[in-house]
Structure 1
Amino acid sequence: MLIFDLMNDMLTRRAAATAERNAHLESLQRLRENNRQIISSLLQMVGRSPRRGNVNIHLFYAGSLDGRTVLRKDRLVYYECEDLPQNFSLDVAYPDTDELVICDSYRSDEILYEELPVTHPERYNARIRNKVDPQITWVLALPMHREDAAPAGVLCAFGNKRVLTDATTRRTFQSLAVGVTDVIVRLKALELEEETRVTERA
């Protein structure tokens, strides 16, 4: 009887632990979906904010690949208003080697704006040369600041139509975008906390 009681107790505890872990997994999935919806709405708001026209916005999050720091494009959440198909295939950027505005912004932890020359595809290395659309004429990159740490990633605004050439318009856009990146960093931190709870209960 004692053995059966012990086994029953173990099974009960295991079932409770499994139920708790499943509850955390469901909570994590809900949190991720809510965050995606919030961030998507924010990107639409920012992308449509300039008076002279909309801008495209992609998010790149810092991570690691084969021991190197990389910037991975968020494939689920973005805002696009122009058809720039060649740009679609850029999934990963390497800040230490790729001559991209987002990489410079990440390394320097500074907001960078550049109006690209017609010849800009020539400056890219072979890995990314065909992954940056030659129609792009400007890029604005904003690091997603974290307190006392490297940026969490980069918000990249870009396009063919130059809608941010006016300094005042650009400053207004930047201020709005910086506020959005602050929200994104906090939402991603909440996701990480929940992921850690799930992992601890695995």
Structure 2
Amino acid sequence: MNIGEIAKRAGVSRSTVSYALSGKRPVSDETREKIQRVIDELGYRPNASARALANGRTSTIGLVFPPAGNHYTGMQLDFIGSVVEAAAAHDYDVLLSPSGVDSDRSFQRLLGERRVDGAILMEIRLEDDRVDHLAELDFPAIAIGRTARPEGTWWVGLDHTALAAACVHHLADLGHRRIAFVNRPEQLLRAG
């Protein structure tokens, strides 16, 4: 089903159907209602690709996350789920793109083909060429974490110093005197 068929059944031009759907130009209430009746009758759903081409927006956010290796942690999966839920609340879809450092092919397609309106990058490294590449393209993006040179890039993170202090104080207030700190695997720390 396409807007040509809707136009034919509603007795209007294709451009009138297009204007009624996009709201770019005024269409009389009577004509809009006639078009809507045909749309409802046929169960028409607009083609997302055609709509993106027409208005230059995909209504999709790219979530760039690290390749799984052996598996994803519960925290990573919770974060991915939270991004999807938040995006859906604002009528956005999320395109998941596993991408490591060195701006691999998946990441290049995401940007080069403008499949998304913006990107969220997870698992940022101190030296991360993906962040540099996004900045060079002036592509709308935000990083979860920061690089060694965070100036000029958008990023969010936790105040790890305050977080660690709160944890230690809490355990000390409970009477604990020996506290262990379990960190990320050594190879991740060495990798930056």
Taking structure 2 as the reference length, the TM-score comes to: 0.27
* Structure with the largest fraction of strand: 1
**Could you say which structure has the greater relative contact order, defined with CA pairs below 8 angstroms and 6 or more residues apart?**
1
